[in-house]
């Protein structure tokens, strides 16, 4: 899970001599270094019957919460994305670039509206999505890391599609926690929270997927489901992490 930025509880420890003071300063220094200016990197590998996609995440703190870069590569083709999210990992803005499909768009949330503009498949696009108070979760997997460790059992959110009939359209998704179980990720046993995600309402029959989050820290470690309309089952797993 991405670390919470507020660390004020460390300043409530009573000072009992210079050793305690030095210890507190050391803790604050480490936390400050971790949360400011350091890039956390993760690499995931997504495998299906006919393809392998490598997803590289680059995560830094920002004034609003986090800045998340994502580079996805398949057969020499690349998709670049950048997300600005708040401390709860809800999206504030999103940049999406898919050069081989002549697509480059930017979306920004302002209140209960999301403004999207740019080029989609070689054509100008300019849309305003009217939404409600539900969070906008454009990062999907990483965007649920705080929820994975929260007491709530289910939630809903908005997200903009990037393929198939839902391309550059917005819809709502629901996610529900199933159980905690032990799975194998990159050859290692991991205790993880299993969640099931789907579209809401009658659209739920068209897509659903399973996500697993490491119980110890909420980190996204595995996905299993269809990666898009007409595709087979894909499995995405965390293969390396550095922070």
pLDDT tens string 183-198: 999 999 999 999 999 9
Name the range with the highest mean pLDDT among 17-31, 46-60, 193-207: 46-60
CA distances from 176 to 90, 169, 180 (A): 17, 23, 12
How far is Cα 87 from Cα 4, in angstroms, rounded to an integer? Answer: 7
Residue 203 — very low, low, confident or very high, per pLDDT cuts 50/70/90? confident
| Percentage of the chain exceeding pLDDT 90 | 73
In the chain, the domains with their CATH numbers are 15-242 (2.50.20)
Tell me the pLDDT of the chain averaged across its residues: 87
Question: In sequence order, which residues have a C-beta less than 8 Å from that of residue 239 and are 6 or more positions away?
Answer: 43, 44, 45, 186
Say which residue, 198 or 5, is predicted with more confidence: 198
The pLDDT of residue 232: 81
The pLDDT of residue 24: 40
Q: Do residues 184 and 237 lie in contact, with contact meaning Cβ atoms separated by under 8 Å?
A: no
0.85 exceeded by pTM? no
Least Cα distance to 162 among 145, 198, 142, 138 occurs for 138
The pLDDT of residue 207: 84
Residue 25 — very low, low, confident or very high, per pLDDT cuts 50/70/90? very low
3-state secondary structure of 36: coil
Say which residue, 36 or 143, is predicted with more confidence: 143
How far is Cα 159 from Cα 38, in angstroms, rounded to an integer? Answer: 28
């Amino acid at each position: 899970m991405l670390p919470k930025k507020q660390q004020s509880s460390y300043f409530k420890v009573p000072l009992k001599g210079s050793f305690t003071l030095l210890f507190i300063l050391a803790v604050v220094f480490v936390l400050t270094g971790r949360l400011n200016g350091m890039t956390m990197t993760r690499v995931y590998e997504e495998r299906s019957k006919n393809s392998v996609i490598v997803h590289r995440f680059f995560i830094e703190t920002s004034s609003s919460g986090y800045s998340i870069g994502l580079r996805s590569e398949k057969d020499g083709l690349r998709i670049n994305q950048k997300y600005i999210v708040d401390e709860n990992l809800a999206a504030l803005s999103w940049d999406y670039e898919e050069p081989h499909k002549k697509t480059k768009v930017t979306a920004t949330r302002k209140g209960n509206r999301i403004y999207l503009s740019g080029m989609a498949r070689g054509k100008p696009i300019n849309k305003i999505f009217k939404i409600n108070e539900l969070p906008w979760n454009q990062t999907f997997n990483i965007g649920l890391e705080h929820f994975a460790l929260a007491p709530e059992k289910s939630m809903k959110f908005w997200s903009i599609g990037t393929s198939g009939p839902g391309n550059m359209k917005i819809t709502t998704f629901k996610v529900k926690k199933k159980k905690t179980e032990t799975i194998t990720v990159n050859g290692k046993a991991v205790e993880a929270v299993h969640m099931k995600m789907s579209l809401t309402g009658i659209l739920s029959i068209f897509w659903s997927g399973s996500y697993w989050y490491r119980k110890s820290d909420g980190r996204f470690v595995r996905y299993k489901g269809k990666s898009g309309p007409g595709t087979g089952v894909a499995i995405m797993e965390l293969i390396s992490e550095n922070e």
